[in-house]
Amino acid sequence: MKISKNYISSVLAIIFVAALSVFAVAENSVIPYDYAADEPTVRVLSISGKAGEDVTIVVTIENNPGISSYGLTMLYNENKLVFISAANGDRVTDSFRFFNYPENDQAHLRSMTFTAYDVDGAVTTSGTVLFTITFKIKEGVEPGVIEGSDLRLGYFDFLDGFAVSSTEVKEFNIVQGNISIETDFVPVADITGVPATATAGTPLTLTGTVVPNNAAYKDIVWCVKDAGATGATITGNSLNTSDVGTVMVTATIENGLAIGADYVKEFTVTVNAIVLYGDINCDGRITLSDLSLFAQYFIGGYDIENRYPMIYTSGDMDHNGILDSTDLSLLTSIIVNSRPPTIDNGQLIIGRN
């Protein structure tokens, strides 16, 4: 492509006076791989900041063979960034201009076009600043990275490169940068409210409350540290056991203490057997023998509570923590009417519909 310096200056002068229409960004302007050390390159330096803060993007030129004009366009997502200002760099003259306008086909994007001519054509060292752009990161923008379709530098389409002389235009590599949105890091102090008991054969959902509530990372990953005799396994946040005993589980929050430092806490869960309410002698059946033993308990003098210590659990037919005449009446009703057992919250229950 041949282009004269005078022609370039004339075109730019017209652009400065007339209202700009929307210009496309050349797709081949992005170099997604490492560039050769001696190739002319434009680099957008990556930066970081927090929502509500101003950040300044620096655009540099490296391995510059000497340029006399350029035209570049920066697309940015105005839902995340607010343009504040732009400034020329180390080598441009007062001919530096920039324009800010919306993209017609993408309502959330805006374009900024940067142009300069009669730039100092001397070969420069790496890192020479072409221009800078200052944005405000909008309040409420989630932590993450603004890049790609939300922040992209390309060529202004009337000039597909840099004028390195009055007769030659050379395409430079463009290395894209990004804006990392940071957040004030709040470490995890504790995990509370984790279930302490489970019933063998019944899945238990492991839950916990992360303290403080505004901790930066709060996702809990569960694992079995010591299953004991329970046969415990964990799938997701579901604890499965096959026998009674004690199981130790570990809760881990990745990056909970700091980036790269996890928060870890261990919990003990006691696994109980399924309670067959009404089975006073614990033989796995509800019979007249259970009713007789229960009656003897109320009469007294038969040492039933020591001979059959499960009576305080299996005899509590109405689940109120007290053994009384209501429990005896319910067990009698089961024996007389042969009412079938039911399952309630993982427990086998006899004595209520």
Q: What is the pLDDT of residue 2?
A: 33
Q: What is the pLDDT of residue 100?
A: 76
Arithmetic mean of pLDDT over the chain: 78
Q: What is the pLDDT of residue 248?
A: 97
* Mean pLDDT along residues 149-167: 69
pLDDT score of 11 more than 60: no
Calpha distance 231→106 (Å, rounded): 57
Neighbours of 85 (CB within 10 A): 11
* Mean pLDDT along residues 66-78: 82
22 vs 255, higher pLDDT = 255
Q: What is the pLDDT of residue 163?
A: 56
pLDDT score of 33 more than 70: no
Q: What's the pTM? A: 0.46
Q: What is the pLDDT of residue 211?
A: 96
* Mean pLDDT along residues 219-245: 95
- In this structure, of 10-24, 105-119, 139-153, 190-204, the range with the lowest mean pLDDT score is 10-24
Are residues 261 and 217 in contact, defined by beta-carbon separation less than 8 angstroms?
Answer: no
Query: Domain spans of the chain?
Result: 5-182, 190-272, 288-349
* Residue-wise pLDDT tens digits, 281-301: 888 888 889 999 999 999 887
Among residues 169, 61, 167, the alpha carbon closest in space to that of 123 is found at 61
345 vs 80, higher pLDDT = 80
- In this structure, of 19-28, 260-269, 278-287, the range with the lowest mean pLDDT score is 19-28
Token pair, residue 18, equals 């007339």
- Is 5-182 CATH 3.40.50.970? no
Q: What is the pLDDT of residue 4?
A: 38
* Mean pLDDT along residues 140-146: 86
3-state SS string for the chain: CCCCHHHHHHHHHHHHHCCCCCCCECHHHECCCCCCCCCCEEEECCEEEECCCEEEEEEEEECCCCCCEEEEEEEEECCCEEEEEEEECCCCCCCCEEEEEECCCCCCEEEEEEEEECCCCCCCCCCEEEEEEEEEECCCCCCEEECHHHEEEEEECCCCCEECCCCCEECCEEECCCEEEECCCCCCCEEECCCCEEECCCCEECCCEEECCCCCCCCCEEEEEECCCCCCEEECCEEECCCCEEEEEEEEEEEEEECCEEEEEEEEEEEECCCCCCCCCCCCCCCHHHHHHHHHHHHCCCCHHHHCCCHHHHCCCCCCCCCCHHHHHHHHHHHHHCCCCEEECCEEECCCC
* Mean pLDDT along residues 1-16: 35
* Mean pLDDT along residues 36-47: 81
349 vs 221, higher pLDDT = 221
pLDDT score of 68 more than 80: no
* Mean pLDDT along residues 215-241: 94
* Mean pLDDT along residues 306-324: 87
Neighbours of 156 (CB within 10 A): 22
Topology of the domain covering 190-272: Immunoglobulin-like (2.60.40)
For 232, counting Cβ atoms within 10 Å of its Cβ (0-12 exposed, 13-18 middle, 19+ buried), the class is buried
Calpha distance 93→198 (Å, rounded): 76
68 vs 264, higher pLDDT = 264
Q: What is the pLDDT of residue 212?
A: 95
pLDDT score of 13 more than 60: no
Q: What is the pLDDT of residue 124?
A: 47
* Mean pLDDT along residues 270-287: 86
C-alpha torsion angle, residues 310, 316, 320, 324 (rounded to 10): -120
Please report, rounded to a whole number, the percentage of residues in the chain having pLDDT higher than 70.
75
Q: What is the pLDDT of residue 157?
A: 61
Asked if 5-182 and 190-272 have one fold, the answer is yes
